[in-house]
Structure 1
Amino acid sequence: MLFHFGPPKELFKIDIAIMSLMVHNCNMKMAKLLIVDDDTAFQRQLYEKSGGMHDIEQVYSLGEFRELFRVGRYDLILLDIRLPREREGLGLMRDIQALDPAQPVIIATAYADLETHLEALELGAIRYIDKTTCDIGQILTIIEEELEKGRLRRELRIARDVLLPDYIGISESATAIRASIDEAGFRCPRLIIVCGEVGAGRWLVAERIRIRAEHRMNGVSHKVDGSSVNALDSLQTALSQGGFVIVTNGECLCDNHFAAFENAVAKIPQGRSTVCLILREGDEGSDLTKFKKSDFPKTWIDVPPLSERIVDIPILAQSALQTRNQKSRPLIINPQCWSLLQDQTWPGNIEELLSTVTIAAVRADAQKSEVILPEHFFQHNPTDGSKTNSPFPFDYTRHCVWAEMQLIENLLAKKPMLNQSQAASGLGYKSLATLRRHVLEAFRTCPELFSICPRTRRLFPTDTAKAGGKK
């Protein structure tokens, strides 16, 4: 099967986004509201004052609400706290959040106090109205404001879904990942785990979930490096602020602070924060495996290696080019390149593919070509004209890994008595943990390093053993 991608299709995608918004605006239906309040006089006044602008349904008890409510049916729910018992509305708020975390709810009460105000917001209410200080007109104004915010969020989601580069794919496994992204972004559970090989696209999946979750997290997001010394403190600070928290190098955090991490996540109030933990596949018996087998509530997403979804390569390559074309002279990929790319093993997974496409685009651009041709891929042209003894001259990612390990080898050849911390400092790494992680990933990616980097192997015996043992 041949694929042809290029600027015309990108322009077509933009047209689709614009038309989608135009159709959405032209065919905008009346907003559907549900008022849950046992005060019949208040309900009647609100209905009459609205002047038929919205499709309003009214219920007066929990039983009636449960008969009517369906996920996605209402654009907004106006909920009283006392139905008719004190604080009964807050219990109903919990039920709504459990069924549909994305459902916008405004709390309106004649018995406002600080305690219920804070609790309502904690449970996910978007506004809290004191009926004694707001008249019907003001309440309707607040409703209109929130409905407009909802419309804007939907329109933004339509445009973004169409225009975002597709780093997921169309294969069966990619379709399953996409469904998991939608589910996780919609439900916003306390913990989402994205697991896979190095370079498999775990970060891309986490980013898509974050975008999907913006409706619940109010656009607030944080990033925590699990390999940093203060990873646990950074995580707790992020959780205290609420929002969507992406934890990279999660295996380091699990290895060092597994119990503390689990405890911190368990204390997250429902709907306040979501932690997306990016993990690398670990060895059996590790804390990572124990975590996977534990009963702790979580959403687990496995990202398969690129070699298991070759059909996605044209889509992923075009997405990389689309991102590049936004900043540089637009290029297209010759369809003859697809079979070439699909024949590769891609040990570096998606990251290696994206790097390869980017480098091919640079080569094509340097030759003033508007088309990336097969000869632009898998070349090795040293910038200084010298030859290299790299064992991976046609594999950019593995060549870079080898080059990094050679820096360590050269340093240890000059100063063989250095310890790990001194090596990390001498090479300019942020921390010893960062260097150890790079060594581990390098030896996992390139088993050939066991024979060509003996000094590094001796200095980091534990990390290289994790990568596969001595060769």
Structure 2
Amino acid sequence: MASGKIMIIDDEESMCQFLSIMLRKEGFDVQTYTSGRVALEKLQADSFDLVITDIHMPEMDGLEVLSGVKESDPTTPVVILTAYASLETAIEAVNRGAFHYLTKQAKNEEIKMVVKKALEHRRLRKENRFLKKQLRIQHETKKMIGKSPMMNEVFDLVARAAPTDSTMLIHGESGTGKELIAKEIHYASKRADGPFVSINCGALPETLLESELFGHVRGSFTGAVKDKEGLFAVACGGTFFLDEVGDCSPAIQVKLLRVLQEREIIPVGGTRPIDVDVRVVAATNADLELGIEEGRFRADLYYRLNVIPLTLPPLRNRKDDIPLLVDHFLKSLSANGERKLTPDALELLTQYDWPGNVRELENIVERMVILNEKDVLEGDDVPPRIRNFGNEPVTVEDQDLGSMSLQDLEKQHLIRILNDVGWQKRKASSILGINTSTLYRKLQRYGLEQ
């Protein structure tokens, strides 16, 4: 049997009786009212899953009832009944938020079908609201953590920028929490009740990425058997997070520029533009300015994305936050929340440079918790790679320093850092505190190419 609480409003008692008998046979809880005003008063004290109202009534017509229902609970669907199939009235009712309209001459099966669809719509909206609430709660448990001066600057910028609709570009190494900070921006904005949609632009080939971002129309390519809505359309009313935007191909960059300039998209194979109301937050661990110099990234797109730049510091530059992060991970990973670290274990974690940043720290803490059953984790429980960090020999011996020029010292230091990171130039430039283009110039000066 079906379930659901339905309110019927019609000034004709016979119509109320006919609908209530039919719907009660289907298992619905039905209450009838011959006055729109009385019905709305009842709505203030009780909730209903569906309202069916006549449009032409004395004292208060159906459109006024519709407005009152939407004011009381916007998620309650309203079906309008009319004795005459007036197209103008139907359009006005739908524009005001009615779920559907029916003529009083409609067949019983048609009425039942519309009622079931309306109730399913109500159920999905309630489920959607519940899931959004759960996402918000989940986000509260996964907030960015830090009290260091660097992170306080990040939080201050988020607080100032989040309420706006300005496009933001987040810079940061892998594992620093770029998506987490993007969610902070979303949930602190006026779009918090809208969707938060994310995509990693470097994880998909160009053709698939284009279809995912902008959608496609049926027949636009082999395998496109039906129209597909793109993620920009899905994100309407909310925030779209473009991770690793620097990995986008030139063709995708042109389309992204159009979205930011015109606030519209054209699906793959389509001809008509679709308006999109979405805030874009992008992120990258690449040097986009170097990408512009090398012709890999469009300058006009960069300036459109970089309206409000935000840089997330690597963990090695905010080691004061490591105890806070470790404590947070221990509480979330421990069943009773009572797992602790000894001071020497914490010291070992603090002195490590964390090339994988917060993500690497979380993984190490998780490994320590899983592999050790004791409540207090000691220095010996820290992985050997981290325990032995800093004990390896340095490239430049102390006794040689006095005879070396400043340029020789710089060259040797560059070699040591590059060897440490496997000649990953982006990572090396981050450790050295210089941008990648400066590092390339130094490598050319010293003839250090690998």
Q: What's the TM-score once normalised by structure 1's chain length?
A: 0.47
Say which structure, 1 or 2, has more relative contact order (CA 8 Å, 6+ apart): 1
Q: What's the TM-score once normalised by structure 2's chain length?
A: 0.49
